[in-house]
Structure 1
């Protein structure tokens, strides 16, 4: 009930957001009606000039009220009330039209500027007293009894109109805010999309070019070591493997480029691809590797590609950094989940220092890929005790298609 009473006499919007043009047009129409309506009794030139000067003065006060009165609205309404009374002094025969038009406008304006209903009621009483006092002095009590109901009706009508107008303004402001929020959200989405795409390109470049070149370098180091030992035959074998590895890196790079350019519907033989990764590791490393691959369910292409990159990165890290004698790769599908375990008995590292390690982008890429397909990753490692990378990926969260 209290809120309904308050909403009847006040508006919940800032006065500064309301355009002054509707009130300005209303005042001008009231002025024209006073001059040209037959009920005005035919105003003299002196009265018309006087009304015009006072009207211009009143309009200036209305337009620049905030600068003149510094938001002292009570002073503003007192001045406007005095000016309104002056119309009766200037034109005793035509003042009533102006009073019937201006007083409801000022009452409605008080409903806009004040947030407390009591202030609005006091302002309305003030203008109604001016109206009543003016008519009693100039036209008498009988004229007041005939004009006061009309003033109330006009005030109520303007209030109904103002409520509708306020609602439209409020909806417009809300729509503008929503539009701005949508624009900001669009910019944010666009920014996140670019970041995501950059991360994807960085992962793909690391998982193809960087890893491929690193493998080739390790093989060339092995060639150099064998040549220094005059083991030419073994060096030639490794050179052949290095050439095959370089061709594979080039092919993978072309696939990444094609993937960036367009969507691919190419199906992947996941089990065979995993075995190729294992065999490639054997070709570039002296570490003995065993594998346990148990895959029966259909693995979506997106999930398959991420898993291949994860396994490849883990094996490359073993080949480059672990100095391990033995490694084990397990990829097991069970109960709609894929369990990946990659274990080595190498030198290990401090997991807490991953972010500080040079060339840690591979581990970062693995983490991003696991997250992209809704999985969980856990890395356990201790110096001189090896490393264990465990990944759990739900199959149902994989969808066919490429990364987004």
Structure 2
């Protein structure tokens, strides 16, 4: 801040020195030198610490400084250097610091300058005085305005840089939070769902072994081994995506068909599938929709006690509609979604939100559950 005020301090020192040198020729009393010096020191000190007054208490600052200059001018009234130098400095600071919305400040300073001029400058030389003083004041005021505007711009720039740094830190925190959320979703959609599917297949194998149907049990075990291989591949792909943020292109329809087939084999539930999408979906939408449907099927198998599932995927007027419905026991949506540990339902909402869609989960006791999702396709990536 001192460096920013250095030109003004130099100007004050020059004005004081010139006034003092010229005043020595008139041989004033020593008391005048002392009082004049104290006033200039007071003016300089207040100028150095003007940040304590501006912009909140600008009135106090400019009124005080103006009257210090006004009083100082009386001690050099035959040599009006202070009038020519310090008033323009205050006018420039008033305009540059407070802006044009407070023009009455420098008007007040100009009024004091006029009073000083009329009181201390002899009438016979006032025209010569003004002819020399006014152009000088215009130059000084112009420079002061430019200088103080630059100082204020530098201060605003520094303030903006601090705000940008704070915003950058907030972005980093949000990025870290989003990455943790993404990792939680990906781990849930690979390991958690895969293990849930294996558990259902092992339960089915146990049922068939109990009934003596060894052949069917062996078939499910073979499918389980294949499912384990696919689960390991999905886990590796998830890790690669976390490292490289790569996206695999999906054959969306085929991926859904395979997911439904795995589900049907593992659970034995009847699954009715309808697909009416003509537009090529982006890899982002395809990936998130696949994960959402997979989570819906996993929830049905674990909780719904359903016998039939209906999956409908269709496109209408640049909007993708997805419906996953079952005839199970239903549940209380508010309690389930808000309950800790139910990451599946939270994951569904998060994934749909990421691709700009809306999800509605309608469920009633003993009347099944219907998950409806609307995703705008126009402009989606």
**TM-score category by the smaller chain?**
0.7 to 0.9
The corresponding residue for 2:44 is 63
Give the conservation status (yes or no) of the 8 Å contact 1:30–1:101. Answer: yes
Higher relative contact order (CA 8 A, sep 6+): 1
The corresponding residue for 1:22 is 7
Change (3 A) 1:294 1:144: closer
Change (3 A) 1:207 1:118: closer
Query: Is there any run of 5+ residues in structure 1 with no aligned partner, and where?
Result: 1-15, 400-404
Give the conservation status (yes or no) of the 8 Å contact 1:373–1:397. Answer: no
Aligned residues: 371
Paired with 2:193 and 2:336, the residues of 1 have a C-alpha distance of 18
2:224 to 232, 236, 242: 242
Change (3 A) 1:75 1:204: closer
How far apart are 1:380 and its partner, in Å? Answer: 1.5
Q: Tell me the SS of whatever aligns to 1:57.
A: helix
Give the conservation status (yes or no) of the 8 Å contact 2:12–2:44. Answer: no
Q: State the Cα deviation string for residues 117-163 of structure 1 (Å, max 9, x = none).
A: 55644543444434443444xxxx43444324323333333223333
How far apart are 1:265 and its partner, in Å? Answer: 6.2
Q: Tell me the SS of whatever aligns to 2:138.
A: helix
Paired with 2:327 and 2:377, the residues of 1 have a C-alpha distance of 30
Query: Is there any run of 5+ residues in structure 2 with no aligned partner, and where?
Result: none
1:168 to 129, 150, 170: 150
Change (3 A) 1:269 1:48: farther
- Whether 1:85 aligns to 2:74 is yes
The corresponding residue for 1:133 is 119
Per the normalisation by structure 2, the TM-score is 0.81
Change (3 A) 1:117 1:204: closer
Give the conservation status (yes or no) of the 8 Å contact 1:342–1:389. Answer: yes
Give the conservation status (yes or no) of the 8 Å contact 2:309–2:324. Answer: yes
Paired with 1:122 and 1:275, the residues of 2 have a C-alpha distance of 83
How far apart are 1:43 and its partner, in Å? Answer: 4.3
Change (3 A) 1:366 1:74: closer
Paired with 1:357 and 1:333, the residues of 2 have a C-alpha distance of 33
Per the normalisation by structure 1, the TM-score is 0.76
How far apart are 1:258 and its partner, in Å? Answer: 1.5
The corresponding residue for 1:215 is 197
Paired with 2:329 and 2:93, the residues of 1 have a C-alpha distance of 81
Q: Tell me the SS of whatever aligns to 1:59.
A: helix
Give the conservation status (yes or no) of the 8 Å contact 1:349–1:383. Answer: yes
CA RMSD of aligned residues (A): 3.7
Paired with 1:110 and 1:83, the residues of 2 have a C-alpha distance of 20
How far apart are 1:203 and its partner, in Å? Answer: 1.4
Give the conservation status (yes or no) of the 8 Å contact 2:362–2:370. Answer: yes
The corresponding residue for 2:249 is 267
